[in-house]
């Protein structure tokens, strides 16, 4: 019993230490790093802004996006919808929502050449075929499943200009209607941001390049200087590849939480969710199966392992309190410290990302699911299974 109590206490203390570090990181980021809403208090800019949106079979979402873009308060705004091999009525839904607004134009794309990822080609064609995109001072690339707050473009244009960033990217606020959005999505997002913290993605030195393709705002001259989407034509995670090119060119970047200025529903089903996050994790890990496997174990250990260890230490220590008057209380209080630190860390992270706080107790389950997605992504690479995305199949060889 003494050995068990000591082991549980040490494990719980390790969990408490880990989550205390998480708390410190979240608080520091909250204090030092802005969200997109910081741009609301800045003066308006008069840049010509063009929003380019690639869309593949997005009939259910494109209307909401168009209506949100029509409501933008930034005056010099145009929008290009690059409809990529759509077969579900996306074009009809988009035109109905546009309703003759002259600021919008549609580019129809019927094929994707070999050597291009579908989304990347759609954006490239949207830029090539639109005079307003070519002449813009600022270009925004957004996904068709996003919805913009009316002040979004104005605030982001002002914030990008104020910080002198060639690239401003937002971490979207997610929707939480479906079970996997509530349980798995926050844990998956936390793990991705653990790998690519926005503060590190925004620093001038030793930057860990990262961007979120749901919203990327570029200085148009900087975008052309790094070669645009043509230079990342094969990338399945073109956002991170573009961010790396911005970094390598010595240009500034700013990655911030959208804080409600952009919301996104990423996936409509659990199967799509797993497939989509496997793609994200695989490319974010530069197709390193060993890195994916380690991350899978790490998120399970810190998310579920420490939760069970803290609970086990608390209950076992309380049960042995009178029989082991030293180790019993030590184990019990170590378990309580672990659970409190974890609850505080997850709660702060959820609050900063606008995740409902009542979902905090589900985080250990979400961490286990996120770990299973990472492990599955690692297994797919080892087995040379291709990636299926947006109507195409891509062979992705593992690295190193």
Measured between alpha carbons, how far is 270 from 67 in angstroms, rounded to an integer? 27
- The model's pTM: 0.92
Would you say the C-alpha torsion 166, 228, 118, 296 has a positive or negative sign?
negative
153-202 tens-digit pLDDT: 999 999 999 999 999 999 999 999 999 999 999 999 999 999 999 999 99
Measured between alpha carbons, how far is 263 from 59 in angstroms, rounded to an integer? 17
Cβ neighbors of 131 (< 8 A, separation 6 or more) are none
Strands in 224-372 per DSSP E: 253-257, 262-264
Report which secondary-structure segment, H or E, holds 173.
strand 173-174
Using alpha carbons, select from 176, 184, 180 the residue that is nearest to residue 304.
184
* Cα–Cα separations (whole angstroms), residue 285 to 90, 288, 304, 367: 33, 6, 22, 18
63-110 tens-digit pLDDT: 999 999 999 999 999 999 999 999 999 999 999 999 999 999 999 999
Measured between alpha carbons, how far is 290 from 382 in angstroms, rounded to an integer? 9
- pLDDT, position 236: 83
* Cα–Cα separations (whole angstroms), residue 11 to 199, 324, 345: 30, 18, 18
Measured between alpha carbons, how far is 400 from 397 in angstroms, rounded to an integer? 10
Question: Hey, what domains does the chain have and what are their CATH numbers?
Answer: 2-28+288-391 (no CATH), 33-178+197-268 (3.90.550.10)
- pLDDT, position 44: 84
């Amino acid at each position: 019993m003494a050995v068990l109590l000591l082991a549980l206490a040490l494990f719980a203390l390790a969990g408490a230490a880990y989550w205390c570090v998480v708390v410190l990181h979240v608080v520091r980021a909250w204090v030092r790093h802005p969200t997109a809403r910081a741009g609301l208090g800045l003066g308006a800019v008069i840049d010509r802004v063009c929003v380019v949106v690639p869309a593949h079979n997005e009939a259910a979402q494109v209307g909401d996006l168009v209506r949100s873009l029509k409501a933008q308060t930034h005056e010099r705004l145009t929008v290009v919808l690059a409809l990529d091999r759509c077969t579900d009525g996306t074009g009809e839904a988009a035109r109905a929502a546009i309703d003759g607004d002259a600021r919008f134009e549609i580019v129809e794309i019927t094929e994707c050449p070999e050597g291009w990822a579908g989304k990347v080609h759609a954006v490239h064609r949207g830029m090539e075929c639109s005079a307003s995109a070519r002449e813009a001072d600022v270009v925004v690339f957004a996904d068709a499943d996003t919805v913009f707050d009316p002040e979004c473009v104005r605030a982001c244009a002002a914030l990008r200009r104020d910080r002198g960033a060639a690239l401003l990217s937002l971490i979207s606020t997610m929707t939480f209607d479906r079970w996997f959005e509530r349980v798995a999505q926050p844990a998956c997002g936390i793990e991705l941001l653990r790998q690519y913290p926005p503060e590190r993605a925004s620093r001038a030195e030793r930057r860990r390049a990262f961007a979120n393709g749901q919203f990327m705002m570029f200085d148009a001259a900087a975008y052309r200087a790094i070669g645009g989407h043509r230079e990342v034509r094969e990338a399945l995670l073109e956002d991170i590849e573009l961010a790396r090119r911005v970094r390598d060119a010595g240009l500034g970047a700013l990655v911030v939480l959208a804080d409600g200025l952009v919301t996104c529903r990423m996936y409509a089903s659990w199967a799509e969710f797993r497939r989509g996050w496997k793609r994200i994790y695989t490319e974010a890990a530069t197709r390193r199966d060993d890195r994916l496997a380690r991350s899978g174990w790490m998120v399970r250990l810190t998310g579920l392992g420490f939760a069970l260890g803290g609970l086990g230490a608390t209950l076992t220590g309380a049960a042995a309190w009178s029989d082991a008057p030293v180790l019993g209380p030590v184990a019990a209080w170590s378990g309580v410290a672990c659970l409190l630190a974890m609850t505080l860390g997850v709660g702060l992270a959820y609050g900063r990302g606008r995740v409902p706080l009542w979902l905090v107790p589900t985080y250990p389950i979400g961490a286990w699911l996120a770990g299973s997605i990472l492990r599955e992504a690692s297994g797919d690479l080892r087995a040379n299974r291709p990636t299926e995305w947006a109507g195409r199949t891509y062979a992705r060889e593992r690295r190193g």
